[in-house]
């Protein structure tokens, strides 16, 4: 039966005329948001006018999937309560229900049994792919390829939407400086500029034009979550307003400007106020200054957690504080559904605040086309033909290759020759079909990634011998701590040594299991887990021609490997096509071009380490004769092992002819910087040319340098291209002592090069 909204069917033709039903997935969502604002508002208001207070509060309530929908209807306990709430229209959204059959069954209850037939929005963590998995987001960021990243989000959205979902809890845009924090794998690393551009690409990729193969994005975690003290997940955050505005917020602003439909707040506190109850973040900045029109969902149970934080007396108090602060939807605390109507009646929360939240939620549902057709995402045939499409596999393979970073390649050990060699492949991760899927890929099935072993077996000209060496075994990844899961078993060492001795080249795949990063997986040590370091050193003694392929979801500190191992390839957790991507890079069928989106420390004591740090009052002069009284360590250099923006290629690039068009500009003016980049090697390659600025003095202290532009150039051997960057007032703006974004007159240095240590430079001034 074709669904009809008898009560407000009048809005449907209008919605269709405006394109809410969705068509080809090409226009960025932003355009939809702008042109439809008024019409959508009118539609949302027309529904709002029909709602009781309880029904309004119900829209602000999100439940986790509570019921095996093909089984009997729940009769007791919390599942029965949730079921009753669904029938009453007291559930605005559900998470973790997926698959057309289940989504449809639950949607049917909401739209056919509730009084107002308001459809439910179905959310899920589609972080880097649904069934066909892309590299973890940190790895994708290493590509610096916005087009590829957008495409990857489109693939994820298409599979998720085909599976009945219409909302992903992504992108995570938390600028992350602390590799101990397990969730660095979910974001785009340490730089606000790179994070911002990637945030835009991901929002556009997920949302497309909101057609049936797109989903609403949810920008998270608003805000400051990555700054958890000592990298321990959920820990206290204590940061300055300066850091908040100059470092943390820019990617959120960029995502909001790109048209993201929803935001998620975060578990942490800011200035002593948990984000869920934080009006400065949600009301003043997001909905105020930025004029964000979508809605904010809490993080899982974060409303209730305000009690543990010591910020709320009980759940009712927490609900009051969250609602008043502008947190629109409650994920799994039941704070709103249990207390918000009473709080309104008692005058503790104004009905206007509730109306505002509900209007925002209804708007998103209208924009997604759910009022036109609540089953828009529920097409079994489409589900079948979309999930796992060949072109999606090709897309994630392309993304995976672009995400790989070549960290070291002494004596050109790589690429490997394709014929007549004996290769020893060592490491449990080389033969793992689950770990490459990484963390946060709950829609995908275990064992569905191509392993490195399988990838390398495609190259039949060499003799390949595999030896496990040592396990990186995981028990239950959620309940067993890492100390228990790391094996101490060295019984496989002898076989690995034997294989290494007989080989021309040894490829060792070592690192973290895909589930050793992600939420709740903070580490205090950034070395290779378990006995892998010992395995590496033992094998190296047997045969020093080692190529180390790293699998990890965070920067690792591997000083011994950096010094001794001749070739190191950063291969992260690369998703479904991981093994093919790694093999194609090792054999030179793809020339690596990735650049690190996070600094790799020399040891864990340097963390947090990031390139865009402040100079301090005692920056030192770098001379060996210097006294100890400057900002440094006595036992390790200040510099990272591998810098932000760093990455090698199988070819080499030469930068020359660096020019600046003028040495000063004023308001509304600009200058250009040009540089010639030449491929001086023997194979074609891609170089990501980066531009950094340093502001010498200002009303507040500024970083030593900040990324402000990048462009990839692909060059044939011997070819030269000129890269041009424009520098204008916008680019030098920052959150100043006046607490506004502005460009202050002063002196700047511009640097251009292939990483954050770029040396070509020139000074310029900005005049009033
Ligand atoms: C908690 C995580 O912090 C958040 O990122 C995620 O989207 C929700 N759980 C829902 O799974």
- Indicate which atom in ligand 1 lies nearest the CA of residue 96: 11
CB burial of residue 577 (10 Å; 0-12, 13-18, 19+) = buried
pLDDT at 12: 36
**262 CA → ligand 1 middle, Å:** 14
Q: Which residues 6+ apart lie within 8 Å of 214 measured at CB?
A: 22, 25, 29, 157, 158, 161, 206, 207, 208
3-class SS at 7? coil
- Indicate which atom in ligand 1 lies nearest the CA of residue 169: 7
Write the DSSP string, 104-154.
HHHHHHHHHHSSS-PPPEEEE--SSBSSSBPPPHHHHHTTT-HHHHHHHHH
**299 CA → ligand 1 middle, Å:** 6
3-class SS at 243? helix
Pocket residue to mutate for ligand 1, from 235, 300, 302, 522, most atoms within 8 A of Cβ: 300
Question: How many whole angstroms separate alpha carbon 273 and alpha carbon 408?
Answer: 45
Pocket residue to mutate for ligand 1, from 519, 520, 521, 522, most atoms within 8 A of Cβ: 519
Spatial contact of 265 and 215, defined as CB atoms under 8 Å apart: no
**301 CA → ligand 1 middle, Å:** 10
Strand pairing category for 273-274 and 295-297? unpaired
**450 CA → ligand 1 middle, Å:** 27
Active site residue 45: no
Torsion sign across C-alpha atoms 302, 306, 307, 310: positive
Question: How many whole angstroms separate alpha carbon 275 and alpha carbon 268?
Answer: 6
- Indicate which atom in ligand 1 lies nearest the CA of residue 123: 10
**266 CA → ligand 1 middle, Å:** 9
**173 CA → ligand 1 middle, Å:** 13
pLDDT at 621: 86
Q: Which residues 6+ apart lie within 8 Å of 81 measured at CB?
A: none
Structural domains in the chain, sorted by start: 400-606 (3.40.50.1700), 653-766 (2.60.40.10)
Torsion angles phi and psi, residue 93, rounded to 5: -155, 155
- Indicate which atom in ligand 1 lies nearest the CA of residue 221: 5
Going by CA atoms, what residue is nearest to atom 3 of ligand 1? 299
3-class SS at 329? strand
Going by CA atoms, what residue is nearest to atom 7 of ligand 1? 169
Mean pLDDT by 10 residues, the chain (768 residues): 37 32 34 59 97 98 93 92 97 98 97 98 98 98 98 98 98 98 98 98 97 98 98 98 98 98 98 98 98 98 98 98 98 98 98 98 98 98 98 98 99 97 98 96 95 98 97 61 66 98 98 93 93 97 98 98 98 98 99 98 98 96 86 96 98 98 97 98 98 98 98 98 98 98 98 98 96
Spatial contact of 444 and 576, defined as CB atoms under 8 Å apart: yes
pLDDT at 11: 36
Spatial contact of 222 and 286, defined as CB atoms under 8 Å apart: yes
Going by CA atoms, what residue is nearest to atom 1 of ligand 1? 300
Question: Among the options 102, 178, 233, 299, which is catalytic?
Answer: 299
Q: Give the closest residue to 429 by CA, choosing from 239, 571, 591, 541.
A: 571
Pocket residue to mutate for ligand 1, from 169, 275, 298, most atoms within 8 A of Cβ: 169
pTM of the model: 0.95
pLDDT at 487: 72
Spatial contact of 106 and 165, defined as CB atoms under 8 Å apart: no
**515 CA → ligand 1 middle, Å:** 15
pLDDT at 9: 34
- 361 preceded by cis ω (within 30°)? no
Going by CA atoms, what residue is nearest to atom 10 of ligand 1? 300
Question: How many whole angstroms separate alpha carbon 43 and alpha carbon 20?
Answer: 12
Write the DSSP string, 556-569.
---HHHHHH-SEEE
**331 CA → ligand 1 middle, Å:** 9
Pocket residue to mutate for ligand 1, from 206, 299, 303, 329, most atoms within 8 A of Cβ: 299
Q: Within 10 Å of residue 625's Cβ, how many Cβ atoms? A: 5
**300 CA → ligand 1 middle, Å:** 6
Question: How many whole angstroms separate alpha carbon 439 and alpha carbon 512?
Answer: 11
Q: Within 10 Å of residue 257's Cβ, how many Cβ atoms? A: 16
pLDDT at 472: 82
Ligand 1 neighbours by CB, cut-off 6 Å: 125, 169, 220, 299-300, 519
Spatial contact of 129 and 155, defined as CB atoms under 8 Å apart: yes
Pocket residue to mutate for ligand 1, from 331, 439, 522, most atoms within 8 A of Cβ: 331
CB-facing half-sphere around the CA of 476: CA atoms within 13 A: 3
Q: Within 10 Å of residue 464's Cβ, how many Cβ atoms? A: 17
Question: How many whole angstroms separate alpha carbon 555 and alpha carbon 600?
Answer: 5
């Amino acid at each position: 039966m074709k669904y009809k909204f008898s009560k407000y069917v009048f809005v449907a033709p209008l919605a269709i005329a405006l394109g809410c039903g969705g068509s080809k997935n090409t226009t960025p969502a932003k355009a939809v948001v702008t042109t439809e604002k008024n019409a959508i508002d009118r539609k949302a208001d027309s529904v709002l006018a029909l709602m009781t207070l309880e029904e309004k509060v119900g829209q602000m309530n999100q439940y986790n999937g509570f019921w095996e929908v093909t089984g009997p209807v729940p009769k007791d306990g919390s599942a029965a309560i949730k079921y009753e709430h669904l029938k009453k229209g007291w559930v605005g959204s559900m998470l973790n229900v997926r698959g057309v059959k289940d989504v449809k069954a639950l949607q049917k209850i909401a739209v056919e049994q509730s009084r107002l037939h308001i459809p439910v929005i179905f959310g899920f963590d589609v972080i880097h792919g649904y069934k066909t998995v892309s590299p973890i987001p940190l790895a994708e960021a290493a590509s610096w390829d916005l087009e590829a990243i957008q495409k990857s989000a489109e693939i994820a959205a298409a599979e998720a939407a085909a599976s009945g979902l219409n909302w992903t809890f992504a992108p995570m845009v938390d600028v992350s400086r602390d590799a101990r924090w397990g969730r660095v794998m979910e974001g785009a690393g340490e730089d606000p500029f790179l994070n911002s551009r990637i945030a835009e690409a991901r929002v556009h990729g997920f949302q497309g034009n909101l057609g049936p193969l797109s989903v609403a994005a949810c920008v998270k975690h608003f805000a400051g979550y990555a700054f958890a003290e000592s990298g321990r997940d959920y820990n206290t955050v204590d940061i300055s307003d300066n850091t908040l505005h100059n470092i943390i917020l820019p990617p959120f602003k960029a995502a909001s400007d790109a048209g993201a439909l929803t935001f998620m707040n975060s578990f942490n506190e800011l200035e002593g106020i948990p984000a869920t109850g934080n009006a400065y973040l949600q009301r003043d900045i997001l909905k105020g200054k930025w004029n964000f029109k979508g809605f904010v969902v809490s993080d899982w149970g974060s409303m209730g957690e305000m009690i543990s934080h010591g910020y709320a007396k009980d759940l009712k108090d927490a609900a009051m504080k969250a609602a008043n602060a502008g947190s629109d939807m409650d994920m799994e605390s039941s704070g709103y559904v249990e207390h918000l109507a009473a709080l309104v009646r008692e005058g503790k929360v104004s009905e206007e605040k509730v109306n505002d939240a509900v209007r925002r939620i209804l708007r998103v549902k209208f924009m997604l086309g759910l009022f036109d057709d609540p089953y828009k995402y529920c097409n079994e045939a489409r589900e079948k033909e979309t999930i796992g499409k060949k072109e999606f596999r090709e897309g994630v393979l392309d993304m995976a290759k672009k995400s790989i970073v070549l960290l070291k390649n002494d004596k050109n050990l790589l690429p490997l020759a394709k014929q007549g060699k004996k290769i020893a492949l060592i490491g449990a991760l080389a033969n793992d079909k689950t770990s490459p899927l990484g963390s946060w890929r709950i829609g995908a099935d275990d064992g569905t990634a191509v392993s490195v072993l399988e990838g390398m077996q495609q190259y039949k000209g060499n003799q390949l011998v595999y030896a496990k060496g040592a396990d990186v075994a995981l028990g239950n990844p959620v309940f067993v701590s890492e100390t228990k899961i790391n094996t101490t078993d060295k019984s496989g060492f002898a076989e690995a040594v034997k294989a290494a001795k007989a080989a021309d080249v040894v490829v060792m795949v070592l690192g973290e299991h895909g589930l050793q990063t992600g939420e709740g997986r903070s580490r205090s040590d950034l070395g290779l887990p378990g006995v892998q370091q010992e395995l590496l050193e033992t094998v190296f003694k047997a045969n020093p021609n080692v190529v180390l392929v790293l699998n990890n979801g965070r920067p690792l500190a591997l000083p011994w490997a950096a010094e001794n191992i001749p070739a190191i390839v950063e291969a992260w957790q690369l998703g479904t096509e991981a093994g093919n991507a790694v093999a194609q890079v090792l054999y030179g069928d793809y020339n690596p071009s990735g650049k690190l989106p996070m600094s790799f420390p020399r040891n864990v004591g340097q963390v947090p380490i990031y390139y865009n740090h402040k100079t301090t009052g005692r920056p030192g002069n770098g001379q060996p004769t210097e006294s100890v009284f400057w900002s440094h360590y006595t036992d390790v250099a200040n510099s990272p092992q591998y810098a932000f923006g760093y990455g090698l290629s199988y070819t080499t690039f030469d930068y020359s002819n660096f020019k600046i068009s003028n040495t000063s500009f004023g308001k509304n003016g600009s200058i250009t910087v040009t540089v010639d980049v030449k491929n001086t090697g023997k194979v074609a390659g891609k170089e990501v040319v980066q531009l950094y600025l340093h502001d010498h003095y200002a009303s507040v202290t500024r970083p030593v340098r900040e990324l402000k532009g990048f462009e990839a150039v692909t060059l044939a051997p011997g070819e030269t291209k000129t890269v041009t960057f424009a520098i204008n007032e916008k680019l030098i703006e920052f959150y100043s002592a006046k607490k506004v974004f502005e460009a202050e007159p002063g002196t700047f240095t511009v640097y251009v090069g292939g990483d954050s240590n770029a040396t070509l430079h020139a000074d310029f001034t900005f005049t009033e």
